């Protein structure tokens, strides 16, 4: 495990708890000492950790923010060029592209454990952080679009050992989906909050925005803007890092909101918008209630792709 922050540290704990042999590296001497004090095999030399991984044919996990990935990949190309490799970054296309550019011989399968990231650091980690959450494991990461199924199975088993459900998806599909269900809601929350608060320096009047609105704001405003409490640098890293997918989601939002505006201005009716949203939310409740499935080890990559596209999550092997 390269990187022992919240996600890397939680993964190390969960995997070791599941009986796996885990070792890790972190650039921080303090973090390495804290991890060792908690009974983990950690140092500050990624080259050493990677040499051990190459010798053991171990699965290497990149557990760092996207900007730190290329330098880590350069180390992998030098110390463990053909290693089994996964990551936990929240966008998947850019990581896949970076692997192709910087460590093309690595046997890479991307991953995204969709667990909370409000806190950070080794101390905030927990062996149960991933329990019951979805962990996307990507298909088609090779330059020719193929999937290294041996490593895919490795990563899926790691996710299951951590208590997560596995959702198979291509990197591009993952990024397009999370743009709609995570990055867009963060951006819309920011806009909703600003529309209520108004801009004290606005040249044109914003009727109704300001102190009175903020004093009256409760239920629907409170929920709809909650994630605007998140530290802006985290929101920016997420949203700006998934630019093209977020643009498509924003265009769809502008289109639907513009249609609602047009309908309200012309006939006064909002039923199409409101009913579509209510139906969508019902579909989400149904999706949440769906049971996970177990699949045979012989499941084809094509079948995995179909399961993910249908929104099914995998609980483990059936055999």
Q: Name the residue nearer to a copy of itself (CB basis): 107 or 186.
A: 186
**Minimum distance between the CB of residue 159 and a copy of itself, rounded to whole angstroms?**
14
Among residues 19, 211, 296, 319, the one that binds a copy of itself under rule CB under 8 A: 211
Q: How far is the CB of 198 from a copy of itself (least distance, A)?
A: 8
CA dist list (Å): 57 to 24, 50, 83, 121, 143: 15, 10, 6, 28, 22
Number of residues this chain uses to bind a copy of itself (CB under 8 A): 102
C-alpha 106/C-alpha 117 separation (Å) is 28
Which CB atom, from 220 or from 298, has the smaller least distance to a copy of itself? 220
Q: Which is nearer to a copy of itself, 48 or 281 (CB)?
A: 281
Q: How remote is the C-alpha of 86 from its chain's centroid?
A: 13
- Residue of 143, 271, 296, 298 that binds a copy of itself (CB under 8 A): 271
Return the sign of the alpha-carbon dihedral for residues 13, 16, 18, 20.
Answer: positive
By beta-carbon proximity to a copy of itself, the closer residue of 44 and 263 is: 263
Does residue 30 touch a copy of itself according to CB under 8 A? no
Per-residue x/- track, 37-56, a copy of itself (CB under 8 A): --------------------
Question: Which of 50/178 has CB closer to a copy of itself?
Answer: 178
Q: Which residues between 76 and 135 bind a copy of itself (CB under 8 A)?
A: 114, 116, 134
Sequence-distant (6+) residues with CB within 8 A of 124 are 6, 9
Binding mask 213-232 for a copy of itself (x = CB under 8 A): xxxxxxxxx-xxxxxxxxxx
Mark residues 134-153: x for contact with a copy of itself by CB under 8 A, - for none: x-x-----------------
Name residues contacting a copy of itself, limited to 238-267 (CB under 8 A).
239-240, 243, 245-254, 256-258, 260-261, 264-265
Query: 30, 101, 290, 318: which one contacts a copy of itself (CB under 8 A)?
Result: 290
Q: Which is nearer to a copy of itself, 124 or 177 (CB)?
A: 177
Tell me the DSSP string of the chain. -B--SHHHHHHHHHHHHTT---EEE-S-HHHHHHHHHTT-EEES-HHHHHHHHHHHTPEEEE-S-GGGHHHHHHHHHHH-TT-EEEE--S-SHHHHHHHHHH-TTSEE--EEE----SS-SGGG--TTTTTT-EEEEEE--STTS---HHHHHHHHHHHHHTTPEEEEEEHHHHHHHHIIIIIHHHHHHHHHHHHHH--TT-SS--TT-SHHHHHH--HHHHHHTGGGGS-HHHHHHHHHTTHHHHHHHHHHHHHHHHHHHHHHHHT---HHHHHHHHHHHHHHHHHHHPPPEEE-TT--HHHHHHHHHTT--EEEE--
Does the protein bind a copy of itself through residue 191 (CB under 8 A)? yes
Among 47, 48, 57, 275, binds a copy of itself (CB under 8 A): 275
Show contacts with a copy of itself in window 168-187 (CB under 8 A). 169, 173-182, 184-187
Compose the 297-316 pattern: x for residues touching a copy of itself by CB under 8 A, - for all others.
Answer: -----------xxxxxx---
Residue choice 283, 294, 300, 303 for contact with a copy of itself (CB under 8 A): 283
Q: Binding to a copy of itself by residue 210, rule CB under 8 A?
A: yes
């Amino acid at each position: 495990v390269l990187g022992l922050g919240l996600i890397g540290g939680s993964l190390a704990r969960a995997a070791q708890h599941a009986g796996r042999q885990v070792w890790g590296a972190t650039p921080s001497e303090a973090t390495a000492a804290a991890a060792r004090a908690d009974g983990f095999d950690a140092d500050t030399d990624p080259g050493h950790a990677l040499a051990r991984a190459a010798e053991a044919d171990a699965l290497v996990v990149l557990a760092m923010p996207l900007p730190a990935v290329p330098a880590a990949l350069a180390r992998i190309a030098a110390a463990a060029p053909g290693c089994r490799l996964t990551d936990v970054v929240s966008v998947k296309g850019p990581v896949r592209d970076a692997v192709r550019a910087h460590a093309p011989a690595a046997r890479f399968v991307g991953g995204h454990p969709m667990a909370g990231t409000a806190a950070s650091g080794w101390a905030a980690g927990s062996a149960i952080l991933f329990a019951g959450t979805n962990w996307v494991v990507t298909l088609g990461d090779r330059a020719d679009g193929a999937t290294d199924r041996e490593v895919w199975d490795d990563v899926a088993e790691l996710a299951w050992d951590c208590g997560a459900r596995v959702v198979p998806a291509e990197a591009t599909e993952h990024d397009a989906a999370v743009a709609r269900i995570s990055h867009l809601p963060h951006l819309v929350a920011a806009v909703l909050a600003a529309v209520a608060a108004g801009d004290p320096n606005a040249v044109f009047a914003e009727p109704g925005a300001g102190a009175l609105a903020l004093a009256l704001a409760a239920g629907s405003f409170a929920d709809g803007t909650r994630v605007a409490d998140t530290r802006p640098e985290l929101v920016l890293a997420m949203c700006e890092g998934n630019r093209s997918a977020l643009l498509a989601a924003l265009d769809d939002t502008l289109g639907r909101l513009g249609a609602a505006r047009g309908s309200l201005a012309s006939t006064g009716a909002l039923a199409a918008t409101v009913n579509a949203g209510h139906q969508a939310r019902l579909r989400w409740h149904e999706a949440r209630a769906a049971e996970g499935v177990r699949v045979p080890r012989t499941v084809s990559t094509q079948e995995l792709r179909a399961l993910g596209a249908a929104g099914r999550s995998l609980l483990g092997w059936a055999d």
